[in-house]
Amino acid sequence: MNDLNAFVTRSPRELRMAFRDGSLDLTTSGLAPDYVQANLVALPAEFAFDFLLFCQRNPRPCPLVEVLEAGDTEPKSALGADLRTDLPRYRVWRNGELVEEATDARTAWRDDMVSFLIGCSFSFEAALLAANIPVRHIECSCNVPMYRTTLRCIPAGRFSGPLVVSMRPIPGPLVAAAVQISAQMPHAHGAPVHVGDAAALGIRDLGDPDYGDPVPIGDGDVPVFWACGVTPQAVVVASRVPLAITHSPGRMFITDRRNDYYTSRGLQSDLPAPH
């Protein structure tokens, strides 16, 4: 536990180097809490337009932090990093089947891979906690519950599938604050997609999530549902592309970009730079 506390104070770069040399393999929840973490999806160039179009059409589940050019493995959001080695753990998918988990993706990587870094809910969970809004699955030290819904993502080319949501029980008086805080973080899935009745999303039993762990819903808690970063991974798998490399669940890429870089469009994070 002393060791884990030591990890929390490490910089994104220090953590990435520890992941690179294989000395560390753990979930990144709570690590470098001020920094944007990202889901990784890497695909052969042939599939890149369709997948980028899918993300463009579905920004809630697939908020793009950065898209690299074909063959590029060093993100602008983490100069000096290498996406093939600097995550704790990877999953390699062939024709929609999981064929390998590894702490290094160089063997499976192809020269024409296009890497997509997609925002993750760790960013807004830190913001909720900072506003004294309880996050039940963190209180329980378990994973957030996630559910396949009957909402369909907007298809793009070869990619289609259902929206996957995460659920956090929020005390009724704090729901409005949770909405406003997460709405300010579109890079981390933004505002909830639904508040209240799970059946409206086609979810039969909140106690039986499709991914992650069930979480108790306290008296006065309201289920609040956010679009989830599992969506793009599920969609890529369902499309049976010949090769996809993703992060392993919970083991994200940690960027050098602070969460407040994106807090709102008002910060003009998306402006061109001077010559």
18 counts as binding its own copies under rule CB under 8 A: no
CA 63 to chain CA centroid, Å, is 9
How far apart are the C-alpha atoms of 76 and 256, rounded to whole Å? 9
Look up residue 50 and give its amino acid. Answer: D
HSE value, Cβ hemisphere, 13 Å, CA-based, for 183: 8
Distance in Å, CB of 50 to its own copies, minimum: 8
38 binds its own copies (CB under 8 A): no
Cα–Cα distance list, 21 to 34, 84, 92, 137, 266 (Å): 23, 12, 19, 31, 39
Work out which of 32, 78, 133, 151 binds its own copies, going by CB under 8 A. Answer: 151
Of 64, 177, 195, 198, the residue at the interface with its own copies (CB under 8 A) is 64
# residues contacting its own copies (CB under 8 A): 38
Nearest distance from residue 79's CB to its own copies, in Å?
15
Tell me how crowded residue 97 is: count the other CB atoms within 10 A of its CB: 9
Q: Which of 16, 60, 84, 136 binds its own copies (CB under 8 A)?
A: 60
- Eight-class DSSP state of 226: E
Binding mask 182-221 for its own copies (x = CB under 8 A): -x--x---xx-x--------x-------------------
Name the residue nearer to its own copies (CB basis): 17 or 70.
70
User: Which segment (25-33, 93-101, 128-136, 265-273) binds its own copies by CB under 8 A?
Assistant: 265-273
Q: Which amino acid is at 238?
A: A
Task: Give the binding range for its own copies (CB under 8 A) out of 10-18, 84-92, 121-129, 151-159.
Answer: 151-159
Q: Cα separation of 201 and 193, whole Å?
A: 10
Q: Is 56 in the site for its own copies (CB under 8 A)?
A: yes
Q: Tokens at residue 66, please?
A: 């950065």
Q: What contacts 209, CB < 8 A, 6 or more positions away?
A: 145, 146, 147, 167
Contact of 198 with 224, CB cutoff 8 Å:
no
- Binding residues vs its own copies (CB under 8 A): 45, 48-49, 52-53, 56-61, 64, 67, 69, 114, 150-154, 156-157, 163, 183, 186, 190-191, 193, 202, 265-266, 268, 270-275
